Amino acid sequence: MQTYRGLIVFCFCAVLCHAQATKSDQALLNEAREKYDAPFNRNLQSFYCDIDFSWKEHFTEAPRVGDEGTDEEIEKLIQPLRNRVIVTRQMAAVSAGLSKDELNKLPNRGMAEGLLAHAVEKSLNLWLSASTLNFLPTPGMPFSFEQSPSGYKLTAKVQTSDAEVAFDPDMRLQSAALKGPQADHFERSFETSFESGPQGFLLTSFTIGEDGKFEPGNRLIYTYTYQTVDGTQLPEHVVVIRESHHEVWRYSLSNCVVKTIK
């Protein structure tokens, strides 16, 4: 009888300890949020940088479309432009400090300038989305965590779509997929990689399918390396690969200035 009672007590303690060890969905979400470097969620208000980009080097890795201008026009009119980008919590915006009339006087009404601005803004807006943790559920959004062979799986409802997010055991984001109602035939997915930084995980690559088709030859691949500016980790070298058009865009951010909330 004494042995039987001891077994009951042991089983009760084992169940209780397991229940205490099992983390709630909210606890896991809080843990995930704390793992990432999210400067805009701390005290970063904005930053701006010069954009260093070489058109001559660009055309060794990307085909000429024909709308950019001649080699002479690029060298004399486009390359000397001083492009800068400002990044706030809401968006990244590129400017060469030209008026609309001045832009329209450039070759092909500033087509080359527009292509560069698009590549920079798109890549930094993706970085911004990751650095503000937009891949995690917002307050009021139904979600749940469960363990998976690769770490954790998070499922959530985003309006009428179903989201599924995969994490490593240490909460690094691996991939995510968003599926709409069957009648809409909507599906999007992406893959990521993160590295450890001084203040948390930093996005190093983001891969997404163009037009919803996630397959080799139809992917957009963004890669990032970092610099420290006044204690804040900011992108330094960025590469954008558009497989469908055999395009590679490489640029660097320099002379960055950060503005923080006191």
Q: What is the pLDDT of residue 64?
A: 84
Is residue 239 over pLDDT 60? yes
Read off the pTM.
0.87
Q: What is the pLDDT of residue 15?
A: 35
The torsion defined by the Cα of 226, 237, 79 and 70, in degrees rounded to 10, comes to: -160
12 confidence band (pLDDT: 50, 70, 90): very low
Candidate ranges 61-70, 159-168, 241-250; pick with highest mean pLDDT: 241-250
Question: Which is nearest to 258 in space by CA: 13, 89, 102, 133?
Answer: 89
Distances from the Cα of 185 to the Cα of 163, 178, 212, angstroms: 15, 11, 10
Q: What is the pLDDT of residue 147?
A: 93
How large a percentage of the chain has pLDDT more than 90?
Answer: 71
